[in-house]
Amino acid sequence: MNRGYDVRTKLLFLLLANYYALVTPGIGVIWVLILLFSLDFIWRHEYVRLASYLIFFGLATACLSLNIDEASHPYLGFFLLGGLTIMPCFMVGLSILRTPVHEFIQTLRKWRVPESILLVLAVAMRFLPTVTGSYLNIRAALKLRGEFVSWYQYLLHPLAYFEKILVPLLLNATRLGQDLTIAALTKAVGSHHKTSYRNYVFTGKDYLGWFGLGGLVLFTLGGFL
C-alpha cells in the first residue's frame, strides 16, 4: 500500500487551501501549495492525475502571465484566476474523499473526535459514493420502460423527469442510510472501546508537509510571496 500524507495533514492542507482561496494570494503561494501537495500523488504513484492538475495550473499561469486577466477578458480571466485559487481545494478535497473510511475514522480518533461524529462521518463517506450509482440505475430503469430515452425529452418535461428521478432516489437513500448505520454500529464505529489492527501514525512525509506549510504561512505573513 503506497501511503502519502496522513489524513490530518490533508485536513491542514484543505484548511490552508480554503483560506488562500478566500484571500486570493499571489501565484507563488498557490504554486508552492500545489507543489507541496503534489508529493502526495507522487508517493501514491498517481502520476496521470498529477500531470492533469499540473498541466491545467501551468496553462492557467501562462495565460495570466500574458495579461489575460479580468480586465482584458472578463470571463476567461475570471475562469483562469478562479481555477487557480479554487483548484487546490478541489485537488486536496478529492484526495481526502478517496481515503479509505477506516483510515479516516481511525486517524480522527487520535484527535479525540466524539464517536457520535465519527459515526455520522462513517455513514456519510459510504453513502455519498452510492448516490451516483443509484441515479444511474434509476435512469437505466426509465429507459427500459421507454421513458426519457433521448436527451431532448429531459428539456421538454423537466418536472416529470425530476419527479421520476427524485422520488425513487429518496426512497433508496432512506433505506441505504439505515443499512449503512446498522453496518457501522455492527462494526463498533460508535463504541468507545474500538480497536484497530492497523495503526496510523505520522511519518517523515507528514513532518515534511507540516514544515513546508509552516514555512509557507511564515513567508506569506512576512510578505515574501
pLDDT at 125: 75
* Whether 66 and 174 share a structural domain: no
* Whether 84 and 130 share a structural domain: no
Q: What is the DSSP letter of 85?
A: H
Rg (CA), the chain: 22
* Whether 97 and 120 share a structural domain: no
Q: Is the pTM of this model over 0.75?
A: no
Give the pLDDT confidence of 72-123 residue by residue, as tens digits.
Answer: 566 666 677 777 788 888 888 888 888 887 788 888 877 787 877 877 777 7
Question: Which residues are within 8 A (CB) of 50 and not within 5 positions of it... i.e. 6 or more apart?
Answer: 38, 41, 42
Question: Which residues are within 8 A (CB) of 173 and not within 5 positions of it... i.e. 6 or more apart?
Answer: 127, 131, 134
Estimate to the nearest angstrom the gap between the alpha carbon of 195 and the chain centroid. Answer: 27
* Whether 60 and 169 share a structural domain: no
pLDDT at 89: 87
* Whether 50 and 22 share a structural domain: yes
Number of domains in the chain: 2
- Contact (CB, 8 A) for 148 and 161: yes
* Whether 99 and 208 share a structural domain: yes
Residue 195 in domain = no
Cα(209)–Cα(214) distance, integer angstroms: 8
* Whether 100 and 129 share a structural domain: no
Q: Can you give the three-state secondary structure of 89-107, one letter per residue?
A: HHHHHHHHHCCCHHHHHHH
Report which of 5, 13, 203, 8 is spatially closest to residue 112, judged by C-alpha positions: 8
Cα(189)–Cα(183) distance, integer angstroms: 9
* Whether 66 and 153 share a structural domain: no
* Whether 92 and 133 share a structural domain: no
Residue 192 in domain = no
pLDDT at 95: 85
Q: For residue 119, what are the domain limits?
A: 113-186
* Whether 140 and 79 share a structural domain: no
* Whether 97 and 117 share a structural domain: no
Cα(78)–Cα(65) distance, integer angstroms: 14
* Whether 92 and 171 share a structural domain: no
Q: What is the DSSP letter of 148?
A: S
Residue 154 in domain = yes
Residue 144 in domain = yes
Low pLDDT (below 50) residues in the chain: none
Residue 191 in domain = no
3-state secondary structure of 46: coil
- Contact (CB, 8 A) for 124 and 104: no
